[in-house]
A and B are shown apart, each in its own frame.
Chain A
């Protein structure tokens, strides 16, 4: 009996203290506008304005409070980061959870929770600036390549090379080949790294999105291209070597595999070695692709001569 009485007293005390805490309800975007006029002034250009324009969304999915949470306590206490969801103070998980409440409904973001970015604590607000974006689209904090270079300085260095894909020139973007929100595991290669590589439509390498002439199918495939991919011979971002090859002179690149060393290739007896007619002292044989012109694959010749 005494125990029940104690419980009743404790519950009453708890209810009383709960009642004393300021209730936190939704106040609507008009209230936010009073103290944050600058954010509101251009908010109609923001994609998030759709929720306000709709007029049909519930309060928890409308305007400011759809991301920052209910604002009543924030209003009553005249501001403060502790009375509202402040993204500058939020943990990466909190930021991700908040954004994904609406933004998970896209296939391109289906793997965001397992992406390398998320794994390393890089979440939405690291790249997107909701209220003062620099880029006109997608609320990016900076122009895309600049944004990526911030954390990938080695990639920036590669794009500074004389032979490179034209990213700095504005012809391409990092997202032409990568999905910063996390991609499905690349099926065309052995290792699952790198995880941020986007796929062409048929789950192929993204290179084939643009280099359609290299896709084939060819009767005579250059098996290494199909088995291990373009990265066998090329550096995809940029290189000091012509055609972004891994080596400056082509015959050294070819000979690294075409040496007949056992245990490799289709028959496990080595990758097709040089024929005896190839006298390497003769400059004619030093540029392999001068004769083997269809090096990515051929329909007419097993050794890619035509």
Chain B
């Protein structure tokens, strides 16, 4: 019975997500594991060969998919539990890995726990982060990255279940690998020259904290230290007129120690919790750049040196008060404060044999203070009807100072502005029948002075959702509309997004699961633009962007008793644009061809997948799968790719 239930739930879980074809969700070995001494052990290891073949744009493939060839430990899991809760060193050990041995997305987690004494969690992740850069007018863009992100987190808790517990933690991440950047020297008419960089970034955080209980209030504090180092420099990839030589070194190091304190309670009638943080970040930097080239006036040699430091103290606070006078009503008032000040100075010195020497000192300050207060009400009208409503007031003040000391003179620009937002929301939840839930909600906001022309100003959001959920059938339909109008003096920015989704899954038994869904994401934005064309201004025009993205998926899983599993799936994403056949017009807004050519961006991305898993022995399964990826951009040549990927593997348990 337990096994049948497990397979049933696994069936739902497997069919409801179309993840990459490997690792295989089915595991080898006894689900209940084996008893060894006072412990129970469950384990599964899947190892095999992954292959791929790519046609078309390899860089785009590496950016979107990036699976390669080779032998991998595709996935593994190990759990060891003490059977009486009194293990010698630990009571629970859970370890899982994925993609070790060369997959672009690799991860490992470890959880170790001894009841009442300690808990330790480790997470390690690696991402081969490849990005071919932004695309302009069909050509490859700049800023290619072929780097690796590595991240790890360690968290140790002493006495995790007591009223006095202690925390120790460490996190680290790094980004390393080659990249391409670009620079334009010596004037704005010069060509843009590619630069090579060896990316070297390291971030580390150490933290220590404690939680205790006093008079029914839990107090949680943490002290942390963050360090960041970026030692990425740049050199010239190849001599490209006008540049014949270039070298830049710009180390950027600093630390951000922080305090965090929180108080919270969980009482039925009156509940108060708060969180307060203070972070004092500081970074020091040096830029040492030398370049040589030849311009119309003759050979030019330039040396640029910049150094200084930047500070950012951040103080934040949250305070929530909840009142639940009865079982039907909950009132919550939340206040949040955010005070951030970024200030720094940068000494700039340039020596140039053509233009001479220039030195100046910059001092910049940007302060943001935001205070928000919201009140939310939840009222249960009847077992069938719930009502919720809320109002929020936000006040933001931005201070700024931009100052330059040059040739004994000081040029400074000070500014200060405020922005107030009033927002309210209202919603209903209706549950006429146990499996059925209907939710509708609306939010309306009015801001008096947003910071940018496309920030939320006069906006409203409408949400609706219908859900039917039983053990065997799940159906859902959802709709969301988000409209924002930000009137400006130039023209007006307007964005409309509407999302419609329908999904469903059916699991008649452990032998079959079907699921599928369709989502339409509609986005229509108009932004006021002003630009220059051959030194002549082109005033007050519109930039239009229209996207109609249809996303559909279907999955079917068949199981032959406990012997074999077959999964078939298909996902398709297609932006149908505005229906035009070619990039150039007929468009809207700006008459300039380059704007009309980017108003819509039709593309298609599809991925059928098939996977089979056969049990050879109780402790051994054979798995194989194939997944195709097809990516096509209609208006941008040379970006499309098609890829055949697959694997074959053995899952074993010992």
Contact = CB atoms under 8 A, between A and B. Distances in A.
Interface string B87-114: 0000110101011000001110101000
Nearest to A172: B125
A300 B250 CA distance: 10
B451 A224 contact: yes
Interface stretch (B1-9, B612-620, B644-652): B1-9
A34 interface: no
B437 A121 contact: yes
B239 interface: no
Contact of B105 (A49, A114, A166): A166
Given A191-B423, A276-B532, A255 B543 contact: yes
Nearest to A97: B268
B51 to A, nearest CB: 17
B521 A157 contact: yes
A171 B128 CA distance: 11
Interface of B (DSSP majority class)? strand
B183 A306 contact: yes
Nearest to B641: A162
B224 A153 contact: no
Contacts of A151: 465, 467, 476
A232 B427 CA distance: 27
A273 B6 CA distance: 61
Interface stretch (B292-300, B330-338, B351-359): B330-338
A262 B492 CA distance: 11
Nearest to A148: B17
B290 interface: no
Given A212-B203, A299-B252, A170 B105 contact: yes
Contact of B330 (A113, A252, A283): A113
B322 interface: yes
A265 B344 contact: no
B266 A221 contact: no
A133 to B, nearest CB: 8
A105 B489 CA distance: 52
B283 interface: yes
B262 interface: yes
A19 interface: no
Interface in A134-162: 134, 136-137, 141-143, 145-146, 149-151, 153-154, 156-158, 160-162
Nearest to A94: B327
B334 A192 contact: yes
B16 A149 contact: yes
A141 B9 contact: yes
A41 interface: yes
A68 interface: no
Interface in A73-105: 91, 93, 97, 100, 104-105
Interface string B420-460: 01010101010100000101000101010111111110000
B451 A265 contact: yes
B85 A281 contact: no
A268 B399 CA distance: 12
Contact of A169 (B19, B348, B380, B533): B19
Contacts of B94: 136-137
B362 interface: yes
Interface centre among B266, B402, B534 (most CB of A within 10 A): B266
B480 interface: yes
Interface string B157-170: 00001000000000
Interface stretch (A6-14, A22-30, A202-210): A202-210
Contacts of A265: 451-452
A114 B517 contact: no
B582 interface: no
Interface string A231-248: 010000000111101011
Interface string A35-64: 000100110110001101110000000000
Nearest to B142: A290
Given A119-B427, A150-B474, A279 B535 contact: yes
Contact of B310 (A141, A218, A227, A284): A218
B496 interface: no
A163 B135 contact: no
A249 interface: yes
Contact of B136 (A54, A286, A293): A286
B191 A190 contact: no
Contacts of A104: 266
B554 interface: no
A96 B413 CA distance: 54
Interface centre among A162, A273, A275, A306 (most CB of B within 10 A): A162
Closest 4 CB pairs of A and B: A53-B85, A104-B266, A217-B312, A202-B279
11 contacts: A44-B84, A105-B266, A113-B271, A120-B439, A160-B551, A170-B20, A184-B334, A217-B282, A256-B525, A279-B533, A299-B285
Given A54-B85, A240-B575, 16 more contacts: A97-B268, A104-B266, A121-B386, A132-B9, A146-B17, A163-B63, A187-B318, A187-B338, A192-B392, A202-B316, A216-B310, A250-B134, A259-B490, A266-B398, A271-B452, A293-B183
Interface of A: 38, 41-42, 44-45, 49-50, 52-54, 91, 93, 97, 100, 104-105, 107, 110-111, 113-114, 119-121, 129, 132, 134, 136-137, 141-143, 145-146, 149-151, 153-154, 156-158, 160-163, 166, 168-172, 184-193, 201-204, 210, 212-213, 215-221, 223-224, 226-228, 232, 240-243, 245, 247-252, 255-257, 259-268, 271, 273-281, 283-284, 286-287, 289-291, 293, 299-300, 302, 305-306
